[in-house]
Amino acid sequence: MKQHFGTIPITDLGPNEISNQVITSGAYSLSTLSTCPYVRLIGSTGAQKLFSWNERVEIPNGETARVQNASCHRGDIFINGGYDYSTLPARVTIPVPLTFVDAPDFVIITPEYGVDTRRARRAFFTFFQPDVTFPPPGGLALVRGKVTNHSYNTGNEIPLIPPPVGPEAGIGFACPAFIPSLTVTPMIPLGYGASFTDSTNPHTLLDCAEVTILGFDDHAAWLAFPPTAFYVLEY
């Protein structure tokens, strides 16, 4: 089989979803166009290889492999064929759909999926408030960091989240991030306690980050949000 020297796009792949794309033997690397930081190649014999940016993998001669999104979030995978230089993006932005629940005391806004933070230096969640600012007390973001691939021997804080948002399954941390009143486009840091530290510091992140927004007072305005928000990852 001949080495593929182009860029192979595999778009809109969910977490742990395996695509129908088949890759032939040769050398490959993850393009900086990818919004998924971890990809798994699954060979025809069952052999598997996990790789990320700045790494090169090779499929043996005569073998083929299918591509799996091994990240915590939905996104696009671009694989470069050939012996390219190792690369790492400075920043990746991942769109995420939102769901809205109008509860008696607040509006609950939940992203469809979390975001993979295993290689990130800093991670944020951001959404746009169209033409409105909110009176006090603003809103509250409940940030969670979860462990999916590593050990975690300290106390698990996630079950401490009260209803209606929790209790949550999983291992990791939970912390608040406040959305000030009169805010138009908040950038919510997803690190442990990051909203209380200098914005230039690296975030304390686990494998996957999640966030739930609680909007107070003006329910109609919160429910009028655009249905898509964004995760922003810095590397």
**Residue 216's pLDDT is what?**
79
Q: What is the set of domains in the chain, with CATH numbers?
A: 7-81 (2.60.120), 91-234 (2.60.120)
Rg of the chain's alpha carbons, rounded to an integer? 20
Tell me the residue type at 201. N
Is 131 a residue whose pLDDT tops 80? no
**Residue 215's pLDDT is what?**
82
The string of pLDDT tens digits covering residues 168-198 is: 777 999 998 887 776 666 789 999 988 877 6
Mean pLDDT of the chain: 87
Task: Label residue 130 by pLDDT band (50, 70, 90).
Answer: low
Q: Quick one: which of 40, 49, 87, 91 has its CA closest to 67?
A: 40
What is the DSSP pairing of strand 228-234 with strand 208-215?
A: unpaired
What are phi and psi for residue 16, nearest 5 degrees? 65, 10
- Supply the pTM of this predicted model: 0.89
Tell me the residue type at 192. Y
Task: Label residue 17 by pLDDT band (50, 70, 90).
Answer: very high
Helix (H) or strand (E) holding 222: helix 219-223
What is the DSSP pairing of strand 187-189 with strand 122-126?
A: antiparallel
Helix (H) or strand (E) holding 78: strand 75-81
